[in-house]
Structure 1
Amino acid sequence: MKALIVIDFTNDFVDGSLPVGQPAIDIQETVASITQTYVDQGDFVIMAVDLHEANDPYHPETSLFPPHNIRGTQGRELYGDLADVYQRNQDSIYWMDKTRYSAFCGTNLDIMLKERGITEVHLIGVCTDICVLHTAVDAYNKGYGIRVFEDAVASFNPGGHEWALQHFAGSLGAQVIRSSN
């Protein structure tokens, strides 16, 4: 059994306060299409969405990045076509707040996947070399099979993006695949 984890595809990460920019804009239709396909197939679909509090002096990202994905802001809303997919299918998509790079860290994701008999996670979203990567590493360490859609992940760091794609396959045994779109 498989699950789709859609990671941080929000306004702030696409074209807001911490933007991936054009690479994320370029994949937005693919991200939305893949998500809709998994919903239509009845697969478990998770929106793993970064959550921060304004001016949080204790969060480690406060000193690393500009404020982003702040609770209650438009920047934290899903971007573009994905927002429409979520709006139409929110009864079939699980929204999960996360406060660290990995969707597994500090969440009940592992429990939810195990309850459903899921053995493989499919990953899309941003940033390839940060939140997607850390989620993939935790999935590997927890024994899940991993697929990453190379045409549905992006980063503001082109070198980091390419390195992460190689790392997924070479070090995590992930299948790096393309969508049929």
Structure 2
Amino acid sequence: MEPDTSTDTSGHTALLIIDMINRFDFEGAEALLPKAREAAKVIADLRQEAVKRGHPVIYVNDNFGEWHSERSRLVAQALDGGEEIARLLEPARDDYFVIKPQFSGFYATNLPVLLPKLGVTRLVLTGVATDICVLFTAADAHMREYGLWVPSDAVAAESDERSRWALGIMEHAMSACTDPAGDRGTKHWPLPRSG
């Protein structure tokens, strides 16, 4: 029997919130937005749980092709866009914010340096889109031997079919746990061991 680590606050798990600080003004956003709003409610609960347990919260956000963008500008643009997701998930002052130029949160960012500095060994991946940026980030995390929990109710894609397809790949090829967070995902803090 494994020891009870449900009160572990060592910070070895980090919550990643992928591309949720967003104006949702791109092609396909109309289909994605209702699902992203539902996922945002779950992510807000997971964020609260992470903070309570002392785990770092890391926003991993696309620069949307705006190469002069930085944290405050991206957040302001999302808030000015009036989308409720940005208000619900607005980063706190102490949260980390990583800007990515491509699909994966690891590609050409400081995330590969930040996570070891924080002592992180397990990641909770949330956000959009399940079948693009979440999937690519999960693949890079798996190659770096991070444990993964991708709560199926905390990610969204343009269609449920695409989301299920991507979650299946992450579960079967990357040993990710894809159980939904449900009631704040208490049983998955810290992340269950995979493999």
What TM-score do the two structures reach when normalised by structure 2? 0.74
Give the partner amino acid of 1:139. A
Q: 1:50 aligns with which of 17, 41, 62?
A: 62
> Are residues 1:33 and 2:45 paired?
yes
**Any idea what the Cα deviations from partners look like across 1:77-132, whole Å, max 9, x if unmatched?**
79535534535xx2321011111111110011111111122111110100000000
Correspondence for 1:59: none
Larger proportion of strand: 1
Corresponding position: 1:6 with 2:9: no
Counterpart AA for 2:96: Y
Mapping 1:9-158, distance limit 5 Å = 9-13=20-24, 16-18=25-27, 19=29, 20-53=32-65, 74-75=77-78, 79-80=83-84, 83-86=87-90, 90-158=92-160
Q: Report the 3-state secondary structure (helix = DSSP H, G, I; strand = E; otherwise coil) of the residue aligned with 2:61.
A: strand
Query: CA offsets per residue over residues 17-70 of structure 1, 9 Å max, x none?
Result: 34112111222211111112212221111011110335x8xxxxxxxxxxxxx9
Q: Post-superposition shift, 1:8?
A: 0.5
**Residue deviations 1:131-155 (CA, integer Å, cap 9, x gap):** 0000000000111111101111000
- Quick check: 1:36–1:85 contact (8 Å CA) kept in 2? no
Separation in 1 of the partners of 2:36 and 2:123? 21
Is contact 1:155-1:161 (8 Å) kept?
yes
Structure 1 unaligned segments of length 5 or more: list them.
57-69
Give me the CA root mean square deviation: 2.4
Q: When the two structures are aligned, how many residues end up with a matched partner?
A: 163
- In the TM superposition, residue 12 of structure 1 has moved relative to its aligned partner by 2.8
Percent of residue pairs identical: 30
Aligned amino acid, residue 80 of structure 1 = E
Distance 2:86 2:79 in 1: 13
Unaligned runs of 5+ residues in structure 2 are: 1-11, 68-72, 185-195
Q: Determine helix, strand or coil for the equivalent of 1:21.
A: helix
TM-aligned CA deviation for residue 76 of structure 1:
7.8
In the aligned structure 2, how far is the partner of 1:123 from the partner of 1:82?
A: 18
Shift in alpha-carbon separation, 1:37–1:82, aligned structure 2, 3 A: farther
Normalised by the length of structure 1, the TM-score is: 0.80
Displacement after TM superposition at 1:73 (Å): 6.9
What is residue 4 of structure 2 aligned with on the other side?
none
